[in-house]
Structures are given as structure tokens and as C-alpha cells.
Amino acid sequence: MDLSDFKAKDAYKAVFTPSRLLHSYLICGEDGEDKSALINTLAAAMICESGEKAPCGVCRSCKKSLRGLHPDIIHVAPPEGKREIPIDMVRDVRSEAVVLPNEADRKVFIIEQADLMKEAAQNAFLKTLEEPPRHARFILSAENPAGLLDTVRSRCAELRVRTENPETDVFSKELAQNFFTALRQGGLVLAEFTYTLEKLDRDKMLMFIAASKEETLNRMKKGKLKSQTAGKILAVLEKCSEHMKFNVNVGHIAGMICAELIG
Ligand SMILES: [Zn+2]
């Protein structure tokens, strides 16, 4: 891991004002890198020693949490192969939560897939959420927040992770079709097509990339595209998605598609 793991700090600026950090959070949305980044950044911020800059990334606590080694960040997840967080695990959290932290001022419990707690387990957990020991902090993660009791949800500040693959619309689907026409003709036609992409705004570019990924997979399934070619196109589109996350400008992305796929 490196400092880019704290990139969520920029994407969720309002959350990371230390004076505003709350006792418990519920992180909703699809599991994936963005969600883990937000959870890890939040946990690091809760135990960072720097105060206003948390997570600073340089203090002893931040360094340990970046390496996944901080003893006061405790991960709770369904046992391997199980689709449930059993009530015994919840009871362990309750008794562990009253014990003072090892090194930091706080102790953070990350409950992965919290929506997999059955009602009895959630009710057992609720008592801790309602009257948390002063040093305890909780980060719940759920793909399906509706699976949690309202009483649990209402105790947490809910944050939704922005999905990596945005919805596509008619315009982006049409653009993806044009992309394949241009790809087939190659050369100048493809260059001209990617030039028109430079005029898209960020959201439209993200939708175009998502629609093109879908279209590539469709064409491969229908046998219209060899899997080797599809793989090459997908790799380029994936690279585009990655660059978009780091705010690379749209013109550069369009240029990249052109450079990588011409010839
Ligand atoms: Zn720090």
C-alpha cells in the first residue's frame, strides 16, 4: 500500500474534517477498491495523531494503518465460506470494545458486510452502537443497507461510494457503436472519432467508457469480436477508467485511446 490509498480523502473532503468525524459510519455501495479506500482512510483518520490533517499519512499511526498493521483497527467479517456474521462475533466485538485501545486514543471496528448480520446479531450490536465506550468507533460496510435494521442505520452517518461504472445513456451507447465503426475502419477515421471525444465533459466521457466496455463484451459474446481483440480494447478502456479516477483530462484520455488502438 502507499499514500494513494488515502486518495479518498480528496474525494470526500467534507468527511475528513477531523472535528466533524463521528462515532459510527455506514458505508454503502458496491464492494471494490473505492469502497475499501474510503473505509481505510476513515479508519486511519480516526486514529491519526496529527489532529486537523487526519489522516496525515506520516505519523506512526497512519504508517501502521497503511500497512494494515495497526492493533487498534479491528476487522470483523463473515467467517470464510459463510454468508453471515454470527452473533458470537458480535458479542466478541462488544466485549473487545470496552477494553482500552493498545496505542491510539481510539479503537476502530470495521464491520465488513454488516448487512449479513441477522436480526438478533444486529440487536446485540445495537446496544454497543447506542452507548459506545468513549474510545470506540465503528465503520459498517454494506452492499445492501436495506438489510440493516432502521435502528442500526439511524445510529450511523451514511456515506455512499460513487460507483466505478456509471450508468450509461442512449447518447453514450450510440457513441460506443460509432467507436466500433471507427475501430473497424481504423487509421484516419479512428483518429477523427477520438478527436470528437475530446469535446466530451467528464461525466459523458465516463459514460462513453462504460458503454464501450459493455459493447465490447456484447460483441465478444456474439462472436463478432475475437477474444484477443476484445481483451486489447478492454485493457485500453480499463486504463482510461483508472486515469479518469486521478483527474487526467478528457483530451488526454481521447489521445490515449487513439494512440493505443490505431494500427
Ligand atoms: Zn497521521
pLDDT digits (tens, 9 = 90+) for 106-118: 999 999 999 999 9
Q: Which DSSP string corresponds to 128-178? A: HHHS--TTEEEEEEES-GGGS-HHHHTTSEEEEPPPSSPPP-HHHHHHHHH
pLDDT for residue 3: 40
Tens-digit pLDDT profile for residues 43-82: 999 999 988 788 988 999 999 998 899 999 999 999 999 9
- The Å distance, Cα 52 to ligand 1 centre, comes to 10
Q: Is there a contact between 179 and 191 (Cβ–Cβ < 8 Å)?
A: no
Rounded-to-integer distance, Cα 101 and Cα 113, Å: 24
- The Å distance, Cα 28 to ligand 1 centre, comes to 25
Which band of pLDDT confidence, cut at 50, 70 and 90, is reported for residue 221?
Answer: confident
- The Å distance, Cα 58 to ligand 1 centre, comes to 5
Task: Read off the C-alpha cell for 178.
Answer: 460509432
- The Å distance, Cα 112 to ligand 1 centre, comes to 23
Tens-digit pLDDT profile for residues 225-259: 988 899 999 999 988 988 887 778 899 999 999 99
Average pLDDT of span 18-23 = 82
Average pLDDT of span 133-143 = 96
pTM: 0.64
- The Å distance, Cα 208 to ligand 1 centre, comes to 38
- The Å distance, Cα 42 to ligand 1 centre, comes to 11
- The Å distance, Cα 106 to ligand 1 centre, comes to 13
- The Å distance, Cα 136 to ligand 1 centre, comes to 18
- The Å distance, Cα 191 to ligand 1 centre, comes to 47
Secondary structure of residue 216 in the 3-state scheme: helix
